[in-house]
Amino acid sequence: MLTVNTLYFKKLRYCLFSFYTKPAIFLLLFVIGTNAHSLPSSLELLTLNLQDDYLVSRKLSGRILPKNQAMLSFEIQGRINNFPSDIGDSVNAGDVLASLDNSEIYASYNQAVAQKKLSGLVLDRYKDLKKDGFVSSQEYDKAVAEYDIAASQVEFFKVKLRQSQLIAPFDGFIQQRFYDTGSMVNPMQPVLEIIDSKQVEAQVSIPLKYLDLLVPGELYEFELSNNVYQAKLERLSPMTNVGSGNRLAIFSFKEFIAPGEVTNLVLKTQISSRGAWVPLTALSQGNQGLWNIYSLIDNQDGSKSVVREIVSLEYTDGIYAFISGTIKTGDRVITGGASKVIEGQRFLNQ
């Protein structure tokens, strides 16, 4: 329970607090509202330079793919004898990548060669006998046919010998191997996958509204792992992708880039609009979709004042913004915006 003396001292302390604090608050507000300070050195200004258009960059994602990619298989049945090249190996066009056990084919080939040789000897003898009239035309024609059959058998087994090998169709890398040595494989079963090691292309899905920006045969800019590459537009698919309104665009690169990488196609468009570039930090949110910037103007007494201007945000790249409005060339915009100053603030001329 409070005593009379306690209540007296509490009232006295409240009165003293009110007496000393209220004038101080009033004085602080008065100083802020009326006093001009020197222009701080930390205040950064940007002099506007108006232009009649600006460049818009749009990025569309795509994927780097090998220009050639093939699943290789044998054309005949057989048992895999060996793999001269394995996964990850670099190979050249014409290299043997895998082979089947061809001992049986090779034996048949030798037999066909011997039969061709014998048929050739018989045919030569029949030529001489026919000249002397000892062989009829029918017997001679039969000898010719037998030689042709023997020769065709030799060519047949030559083909079979070639079919017992997998040959690299282009320079590339072995991407996958589906069987091991000793495996029995049937015709057309994938054995190896090879991808191109010389040429790559980018496949990009292009929305229909951007098709007018693309011209086949022209070079376009791609961004990949902080590097910029040039690629030529080879072709546009004649029809849209299933389930979308996009068209597939194929771009070819001069440089070899590791397939599978994700890249960005940079499409640049010139937009006609009178305005200027400012840092995004110079803008603050306004009303009805508009924005505010703060500029420094000169007063007649030599001081400087902060004024607020309402602008429209036309485009931003995430760091800078292109704005339009009542701005003009030569305006000194405060890059820090509302975080550095307030409207109506005055500074002394230094």
Q: Where in the chain is the domain with CATH 2.40.50.100?
A: 69-196
Is 208 in a helix, a strand, or coil? Answer: helix
Closest CA to 266 of 237, 235, 236, 231: 231
Contact indicator for 64, 258 with CB cutoff of 8 Å: yes
Tell me the C-alpha to C-alpha distance, in Å, between residue 313 and each of 279, 281, 282, 324. Answer: 12, 13, 12, 7
Is 14 in a helix, a strand, or coil? Answer: helix
Q: What does the alpha-carbon distance between residue 316 and residue 321 come to, in Å, rounded to a whole number?
A: 4
Which fold is adopted by the domain 37-54+272-348?
2.40.420
Tell me what pLDDT residue 5 has. Answer: 43
> Global pTM?
0.59
Tell me what pLDDT residue 279 has. Answer: 94
Tell me what pLDDT residue 318 has. Answer: 86
Indicate left, alpha or beta for 116 from its phi (over 0: left) and psi (-120 to 50: alpha).
Answer: alpha
Q: Where in the chain is the domain with CATH 2.40.30.170?
A: 57-67+198-271
pLDDT of the chain, 350 residues: tens digit per residue: 444 344 344 443 444 344 333 333 333 333 334 456 677 777 889 999 999 999 888 899 999 999 999 999 999 999 999 999 899 999 999 999 999 999 999 999 999 999 999 999 999 888 888 887 788 888 889 999 999 999 999 999 999 999 999 999 999 999 999 999 999 999 999 999 999 988 999 999 998 888 888 999 999 999 998 899 999 999 998 766 555 678 899 999 998 888 888 999 999 888 899 999 999 999 999 888 899 999 999 888 888 899 999 999 999 988 999 999 989 999 999 998 888 888 888 888 65
Tell me what pLDDT residue 243 has. Answer: 58
CATH for 69-196, options being 3.30.428.10, 1.20.1290.10, 3.30.360.10, 2.40.50.100: 2.40.50.100
Q: What is the 3-state secondary structure (H, E, C) of 87-156?
A: CCCEECCCCEEEEECCHHHHHHHHHHHHHHHHHHHHHHHHHHHHHHCCCCHHHHHHHHHHHHHHHHHHHH
Q: What does the alpha-carbon distance between residue 266 and residue 71 come to, in Å, rounded to a whole number?
A: 33
Tell me what pLDDT residue 32 has. Answer: 38
Which CATH architecture best describes the domain 57-67+198-271? Beta Barrel (2.40)
Tell me what pLDDT residue 48 has. Answer: 94
What's the chain's Rg over C-alpha atoms?
43
